[in-house]
Amino acid sequence: MYQKTILKSGLRVITIPDKNTQAVTVLLLVKTGSKYETKETNGISHFLEHMLFKGTKKRINSTEIAEALDKVGGDYNAFTSEDMTGYFAKTEASRFDLTLDWVADIYLHSLFPKSEIKKEKGVIVEEINMYHDNPMVQVVNLWKKLLYGDQPAGRSVAGGKASVRSITRKQLLSYWKTHYTARNSLLCIAGNVDDQEAKRKVRKYFAGVNEGKARSKPKVIEQQTKPNSLIYFKKTDQTHLCLGVRAYNLFHPKRYALELLTVILGGMMSSRLFIEVREKLGLAYYIATLPEIDPDTGFLLTRAGVDNKNAGKAIRAILREYKKTREELVSQTELQKAKDFVKGKMALSLEPSDALASFYGGQELLENKILSQKQVFAEIDKVKPEDILETAKDIFQPQKLNLALIGPLKDRKVFENLLKEF
């Protein structure tokens, strides 16, 4: 059970009391991320996330911010994505006041010291370097660049080195004041707390919240008429690839069919691609298929790392499995296995208070509605084999196909020809 309250300021508060845990999580979500940025300020959402840990009026530097929760054994962190930025703290339930005060403090009262901004640019550049040096991570960035090109959806959440280095304190403050508003934010509290007491304390600690308007983002333009590929030459022992198709957003009626199709193809160790590519052909150590379903974009993606000489063979194997799902009905047994897998994983994952906060808060922020676990299970159970077939026929089309690779490869035509066979 959860309760939703909208304060006079416009700040939404979701409370999920649970007396069966000793913990409490406070999660603050802001509806902004890299899709809201310009080319010149690419990375500013992520940069701002870093800066909220650099000092407030009450906790004057990063050490004091960290020690506040370290002293009580708390977990805390932040994240930035294309569509949201989040800050969370999780402690033993008796520390709820401290936890709520800490989140409110960094959200409302950060100071953005000039000296810290300068240093943090170097830190973020090293973070970008780290991603570039990890082909498993970098190939996903290339995939999104391939799909969306020179628009916010196609740029890295971390930003580019040049754009990060050029961001000024004035720009950070302006972005903070513009996007970190009550109507653009949501507070989710999950764990061993009293609902009424929690809301009373939220009103106290968030009394000074900015009441500015919620902000919109540019519309994503999707234009594709033929299969596309992108090769990034790098001397690696493996070729890392992302192969998949444009698909559905959060509001599409076939989103649950898409998720189940993903599981059937490569979401578990007994999935079709895991068995075929790893167990039978021995081509990959890691291979997985996953969906990304956002408010305005979506795709189905298979990731794998293979010996450089086997890249073509692996791509053919993946495409064969894609074709099968658009030509043949999945059996009731295989579909039921996928449903039970998804429901079982969700039930296990929602045990901790921080997972509950993310589950409820993420839905409210991005979809403006909340489905309970039971309601999500009901939507999953509605999916029929015919829905899987319709979804596969719809998305597995040549003009929606994309391939990104990192490895010591140069001949793009070889891979273009493979995609043309689809």
CATH number at residue 321: 3.30.830.10
Whether 198 and 241 map to the same domain: the answer is no
Q: 309 and 357 share a domain? A: yes
Please, is 360 exposed, middle or buried when counting C-beta atoms within 10 Å of its C-beta (0-12, 13-18, 19+)?
buried
Q: By percentage, how much of the chain surpasses pLDDT 90? A: 97
**Mean pLDDT, to the nearest integer, of 343-348?**
97
Task: Please identify, among 205, 238, 272, the residue that sits at the C-terminal boundary of a domain.
Answer: 205
Residue 214 has pLDDT above 80, yes or no: no
Among 172, 205, 238, the domain-final residue is 205
Tell me, what's the pLDDT at 215?
80
The answer, yes or no, to whether residue 197 has pLDDT greater than 80, is yes
Asked if residue 124 is part of any domain, the answer here is: yes
Beta strands in 342-398 (DSSP E): none
Q: What is the pLDDT of residue 213?
A: 82
b vs e for 200-220, b when ≥16 Cβ sit within 10 Å of the residue's Cβ? ebbeebbeebbeeeeeebeeb
- Is residue 211 domain-resident? no
Contact 283, 307 (CB under 8 A): yes
Which is nearest to 313 in space by CA: 264, 271, 277?
A: 277
Are 172 and 273 found together in one domain?
no
Structure-token match 């960094």, residue found? 106
Per-residue tokens: 419? 């995609």
Question: Does one domain contain both 268 and 198?
Answer: no
**Backbone torsions φ then ψ of 210, nearest 5 degrees:** -65, 130
Stretch 259-281: mean pLDDT, rounded? 98
384 shares its domain with 327: yes
Q: Residue 153 carries which DSSP code?
A: G
pLDDT per position as a tens digit, 62-73: 999 999 999 999
Question: CA 104, CA 201: separation in Å to the nearest integer?
Answer: 11
Between CA 316 and CA 422 the distance in angstroms is 9
Q: Are 151 and 269 within one domain? A: no
Range of the domain at 339: 228-420
Same domain, 234 and 171: no
pLDDT at residue 230, as a whole number: 95
> Where among 205, 238, 261 does a domain terminate?
205
pLDDT at 189: 98
Are 167 and 313 found together in one domain? no
Q: Where are the alpha helices (DSSP H) in 182-248?
A: 195-205
Beta pairing class for 284-293 and 401-407 = unpaired
- Is 218 inside any structural domain? no
CA nearest neighbour of 2 among 377, 376, 378, 371: 371
Does a structural domain hold residue 220?
no
* Closest of 10, 11, 14, 30 to residue 369, by C-alpha: 14
Q: Does the predicted TM-score (pTM) go above 0.85?
A: yes
Instruction: Tell whether 237 and 363 lie within a shared domain.
Output: yes
**pLDDT at residue number 212:** 83
Is residue 235 scored above 90 in pLDDT?
Answer: yes
Q: Could you read off the pLDDT of 91-108 as tens digits, one per residue?
A: 999 999 999 999 999 999
411 pLDDT more than 90: no
Could you tell me if 334 and 190 lie in one domain?
no
Euclidean distance between CA atoms 273 and 288, whole angstroms:
8
Cα separation of 172 and 40, whole Å?
Answer: 13
pLDDT in tens, 116-156: 999 999 999 999 999 999 999 999 999 999 999 999 999 99
d(CA 37, CA 40): 8
Residue type, 177: K
What distance in Å separates the CA atoms of residue 389 and residue 184, rounded to the nearest whole number? 38
Q: Is 210 within the bounds of a domain?
A: no
**3-state DSSP assignment of residue 177:** helix
In a domain, 262, yes or no: yes
- Reduced to 3 states (helix: H, G, I; strand: E, B; else coil), residue 369 is coil
Are 108 and 74 spatial neighbours (Cβ–Cβ below 8 Å)? no
On whether residue 213 sits in a domain, the answer given is no
Across 51-79, average pLDDT: 97
Distance CA 402, CA 422 (A): 11
180 and 235 both lie in a single domain: no
Q: What is the DSSP string of 239-285?
A: EEEEEEEE---TT-TTHHHHHHHHHHHHTSTTSHHIIIIIIIT--EE
Segment 190-204 shows an average pLDDT of 96
- pLDDT on residue 1: 83
Q: What is the pLDDT at residue 362?
A: 97
Span 290-306, average pLDDT? 97
The number of angstroms, rounded, from the C-alpha of 85 to the middle of its chain's C-alpha atoms is: 10
Query: Are both 21 and 163 inside the same structural domain?
Result: yes
Q: How confident is the model at residue 330 (pLDDT cuts 50, 70, 90)?
A: very high
pLDDT on residue 279: 97
Alpha-carbon gap, residue 87 to 47, rounded angstroms: 13
Looking at the domain assignment, is residue 133 inside a domain?
yes
pLDDT, averaged across the chain: 96
Q: How many domains does the chain have?
A: 2
